[in-house]
Amino acid sequence: MKKIGVVLVNMGGPDSLDAIQPFLYNLFSDHDIIQIPRPIQKPIAYLISKIRSKKTRKYYEIMGGKSPQKEQTLAQADALQKALGDKVKVVVAMRYWHPFTEEALEDLFKEDLEKIIVLPLYPQYSRTTTGSSFNEFDRKVRRYIKPGRYTVLSTLNGPDKPFYYPSNIPILKINCYFNDENYIRAMVNNIKENLPDYSDYFFLFSAHSLPQKIIESGDPYKKQTEESVRLIMEHFPGVNYTLSYQSKVGPVKWLEPFTDETIQKLVREGIKKLAVIPISFVSEHSETLYELDYLYGNMAKDLGVESYIRIPTLKTHPLFIDTLKNLVVKHL
Residues of the chain with CATH 3.40.50.1400: 181-310
Separation CA 232–CA 234 (nearest Å): 5
Q: What pLDDT digit, counting tens, does each position of 75-84 carry?
A: 999 999 999 9
Bridge partners for 214 per DSSP: none
**What is the model's pLDDT at position 278?**
98
User: Binning pLDDT at 50, 70 and 90, where does residue 162 land?
Assistant: very low
How far CA 133 is from CA of 66, 84, 100, 130, 183, in Å, comes to: 22, 23, 10, 5, 21
Task: For residue 142, count other CB atoms closer than 10 A to its CB.
Answer: 11
Which of 76, 119, 93 minimizes the C-alpha distance to 318?
76
Bridge partners for 92 per DSSP: 8
Dihedral angle, C-alpha 5, 6, 9, 12, nearest 10 °: -80
Exposed / middle / buried, residue 67 (Cβ in 10 Å: 0-12, 13-18, 19+): buried
User: Binning pLDDT at 50, 70 and 90, where does residue 249 land?
Assistant: confident
User: Binning pLDDT at 50, 70 and 90, where does residue 28 land?
Assistant: very high
Task: For residue 8, count other CB atoms closer than 10 A to its CB.
Answer: 23
Q: Which amino acid is at 196?
A: P
Answer whether residue 165 shows pLDDT above 90.
no
Residue 275 · residue 198 · CB < 8 Å = yes
Separation CA 312–CA 289 (nearest Å): 10
**What is the model's pLDDT at position 152?**
47
The CATH number that domain 181-310 falls under is 3.40.50.1400
